[in-house]
Structure 1
């Protein structure tokens, strides 16, 4: 597996157990958790190490996950991943960036690197992502990296006891190749 990806301001590298406290610190923020399907709130104390180990285990099953690290501070600011469906050569992009780093373009920068990685290194035909329909910050990232809106899956998931709509975006290899 690739050890890391580098962008202008970011290093995307494999998650390490030493990241556990920082993951827990950032993921504990309700404003972040409420924008995701899988980050629990309150975040269980001491559970980030188990989460990181689960990411390692999933690597053999098509998951590629990276810590998003700000180069300047050398601090973890989020997590990004692609969950591959190998039989269909597609990958679902997932990400979160800690609240103190919102609005600075880090999510877009990391997503752009992962989309390129998906096509060039993983050989995917499609990279797609979903976000809560009422979370424009997330789906704007998808648009900025070239993904096209494909539709909204109504009441497709549940968060905090309520059904939520998910907006899906995707990018095909042929579209990615044209943009290069």
Structure 2
């Protein structure tokens, strides 16, 4: 059973099928899609429902924990924060997106801090890493605020909308996390 977390301003909970229209609206924004590695644009009808069903399956088998980010006060879905787990390697990828109206408010960092703690303390991961296109400095800033360290840049690593994009990687180990003053 996937847990539910509360931070100062957010509830992190499993996605529900009733979230599908809001997922399609927020993730389907061209500005959101262009800053992510895998969100399609235009966002196809029915894709959110299929994705949510997949989220639930991944949390059941322990290979991924996608959380709906919900504003506590307004009870609005604002984005997604996930840990995708490589079980044999005890490693997790932190992945996230926020709806454009919610950018620049620190929500991604707030949610990411919660999920990094979950990854190391509850899932007993040895490493958590994240990636972003170099043209997405806001995502890179989230990684840095978490205490992740730069691990490398892959030039022209993904093809996004007929252009090759550079991708940077950041990560931290359990030892790094334990040595942070939290």
> Fold-level match, TM-score > 0.5?
yes
Deviation at 1:61, TM superposition (A): 5.1
Deviation at 1:47, TM superposition (A): 2.2
Q: In structure 1, what is the equivalent of residue 83 of structure 2? A: 82
Deviations 1:77-132, CA, capped at 9 Å, x for gaps:
00111111111111000000100000000011011111111001100011000000
TM-score by length of 2: 0.96
Q: Are the structure 2 counterparts of residues 4 and 61 from structure 1 closer, same or farther at C-alpha, using a change threshold of 3 Å?
A: closer
Q: In structure 1, what is the equivalent of residue 19 of structure 2? A: 19
Q: In structure 1, what is the equivalent of residue 98 of structure 2? A: 97
Q: Contact (CA 8 Å) 2:30, 2:41: kept in 1 or not?
A: yes
Distance 1:38 1:69 in 2: 22
Deviation at 1:33, TM superposition (A): 0.4
Distance 1:144 1:50 in 2: 32
Q: Which runs of 4+ in 1 moved over 3 A?
A: none
Distance 1:61 1:162 in 2: 34
Structure 1, 134-143 or 2-11: larger mean CA deviation:
2-11
Distance 1:109 1:89 in 2: 23
Q: In structure 2, what is the equivalent of residue 53 of structure 1? A: 53
Distance 1:56 1:163 in 2: 32
Deviations 1:124-178, CA, capped at 9 Å, x for gaps:
0110000001110001000001101111011111110111111100011111111
Distance 1:153 1:111 in 2: 23
Deviation at 1:45, TM superposition (A): 2.2
Deviation at 1:28, TM superposition (A): 1.5
Q: In structure 2, what is the equivalent of residue 146 of structure 1? A: 147
The RMSD of aligned alpha carbons is 1.0
1:122 lines up with 2:123 in the alignment:
yes
Q: Contact (CA 8 Å) 2:134, 2:168: kept in 1 or not?
A: yes
Q: In structure 1, what is the equivalent of residue 34 of structure 2? A: 34
TM-score by length of 1: 0.97
1:106 lines up with 2:137 in the alignment:
no
